[in-house]
Chain A
Amino acid sequence: NGMDTLQPLETTISDKERFRDSVPLELSCPNCITKFAFGGIVASRYYRCVYSGIQCSNCDHIMTPIQVTSQVERVIRAHISLYYAGWVTCDDTTCGNVTRQISVYGKRCLMDGCTGIMSYKYSDKQLYNQMLYFQSLFDLQKNKLQTLKPLYHSGDKNEPEKPLSNSEVQALAEQNRPLFETSKQVVQKYLSDCGRAYVDMGSIFDFMQT
């Protein structure tokens, strides 16, 4: 089945497609504890990027860099810890076994008579993509090109009235350069230890050799 699993080079996939399963980065306003999904320099009813940072629309508090980066780091670590909780799931839909027990055969389902195949519920690929998604939110280039995964589908009740203008995005990106670069480094810290990132490099070369 080599041909079925042949994927296009990952770099050619749009962020919208690649991050389809990634969950939003939820930030909490330290002043009024309102929670909101942060989607980069984009329109939102809950926050706005201003020249001096990210501002809560509910109470107008502008978050300091550490108030942003500490939450980014906390969220990443929660994802890594969830990954290491090691939940596994059966691929047989009539079984639906979800557990943290692992058979000495690894992929064998422990339900009586089930011939399904077990795999990690939170796969390393998903975790890797999740971190790439967080990184993309603070990527100035992607923000400026406006290629980020959208926060809302059209028709969502929380969808903002109108998008930011291109010139607003360009200006805000430059004004927030230090904050975004620092935040991106926080994500990079974990990507640098992520085994998947290095495996991907290898598989690209494998692909070119064959």
Chain B
Amino acid sequence: DAKKYKFRTMRQSLLDAADVLDEQIDIFTEVIQKHHNLKASDIGDPTFQQQSEVYTVGRIVADSVSAEGSLNVDSLAIETSRSTGIGRRIRLNFEKVQDLSVFPGQIIGLRGKNANGEYFVVEEILKVPYLNFPVSDAETLQNSQITLNDQAMKVVVTAGPYTAANNLDFSNLADFVERINSSIKPHVLVMFGPFLDITHPLISTGNIPEFPSLKQQPKTLDEIFIKVITPILRRINPKIQVIVLPSTKEVSSKHAAYPQDSLDRKYLGLPKNFKCFTNPSTFQLNEIFFGCSNNDIYKDLKEVTKGGNVFQRNRFDRVSEHILEQRRYYPVFPGGIRTRKIEDKNGKPIFEHISGADLDLPYLGLTEFVGGIIPDVILIPSELTHFARVVQNVIMINPGSFIRPNGGRGTYVEMSIEAPDMENEKMTKVEDVYLHNLWKRSRIDVLTA
């Protein structure tokens, strides 16, 4: 519900934040209890010394409040909810666990024992069940089939930045728009910000170059968007549906927190074939559910790992599974921050804040998967190398940056999705509805932008 994102920013209450953090544990306690057929009384307080094993659910945290950065398997603790352990924390001992990948902010279910009052020895990490996949009835699928005229649906995905770090030259974007219109010709184009990044080095120094094509130079950054970027975007063929998601680094968004309100289409002068969506957002194209989030979880989720089986797997797969399991697009807490080392007046090194995940904690509920289902495809741009992978039958995509910081061409993603065909063995019928099985029906190419 897009209206819920219209909240005013810069007004976090610590108590509201704490309510959300507590609630997350309570929600998963119920999920884990149900899935493992446990009684409410089986869930215990791990912070107490006990003779017997207990099941418990809590949040993975660093065992020291001053711990920033690198954690290891010996420096973790679990935080209990108000109802399970009056919010107390206890150090975790993972000696008996062979393979693990955990991270701060993760809600986890454990079986184990606190024999000495000092730490909780984990015997087993309890599986958190995945949410259900979306399904469609025959009529919906038939409608998709008719709409697409049995042709594949083509969806193109791009993510900012759209200029190099040493200029504000949008000519590559302009060229791309030409290719979109003349050769790529998608049904839908999903574009992630930032279009104009507030942390761009030239903006930090006020070193805004002249725009030779403009008679009157822009006086504000918003005017750069409206006078320079909008005219390029307006050239996209109006028959192509364009979906725009902001970034918290987007200049033209005054809502600089995650979850984030959509950009103002009219103010920016974007035409009617543009839809400005919130960050994150879930939407449907025909029967298919798209989950989109523009907050770099692939960079910010710093796992603590153990065991050969874990290392052999692709890190993007592990992080994707964490996202699916935690049922929200940015499960890390505290969120990532980017700082820069500078010297203060006395020559002492200090850290200057540059940017971050900018989590608005009381509203984190808006970053959870919508409607109790897993989207068919999840798009999360990252600074890290582009990828498209099938994880637990969900297509996870990082399209990569459109332009590299040094100005080199980046990447974009082209998805070609076969129209649904109920006669086809690719669809799975479950009673009177069908699983979408998008991963069986899609071809995904990561291409040079």
Seen from chain A, the residues whose Cβ lies within 8 Å of a Cβ on chain B are 27-28, 30, 33, 63-71, 73-74, 77-78, 80-86, 88, 97-108, 110-111, 118-120, 124, 127-128, 182, 185-186, 189-190, 192-196, 198-199
Contact = CB atoms under 8 A, between A and B. Distances in A.
Contacts of B14: 88, 102, 106-107, 118-120
A27 B357 CA distance: 25
B198 A73 contact: yes
Nearest to B252: A189
Given A80-B10, A107-B14, A108-B87, A182 B220 contact: yes
- Interface SS of chain B: loop
Contact of B256 (A66, A80, A118): A80
Contact of B354 (A64, A78, A83): A78
Interface string B330-372: 0000110100000000000000011111111100000000000
A195 B25 CA distance: 28
B82 A104 contact: yes
Nearest to A185: B220
B356 A30 contact: no
Contacts of B206: 27-28, 30, 63, 66-68, 70-71, 74
Contacts of A70: 203, 206, 208, 220-221
B217 A66 contact: yes
Interface size class of B (residues with CB under 8 A): 35 or more
Nearest to A100: B334
B207 interface: yes
Given A81-B355, A104-B79, A99 B66 contact: yes
B81 interface: yes
A67 B207 contact: yes
16 contacts: A33-B205, A65-B220, A66-B217, A66-B220, A69-B220, A70-B203, A74-B199, A77-B198, A80-B256, A98-B66, A101-B334, A102-B18, A124-B10, A127-B10, A185-B220, A193-B8
Contact of A69 (B11, B219, B358): B219
Contacts of A101: 61-62, 65, 334
Contacts of A108: 87
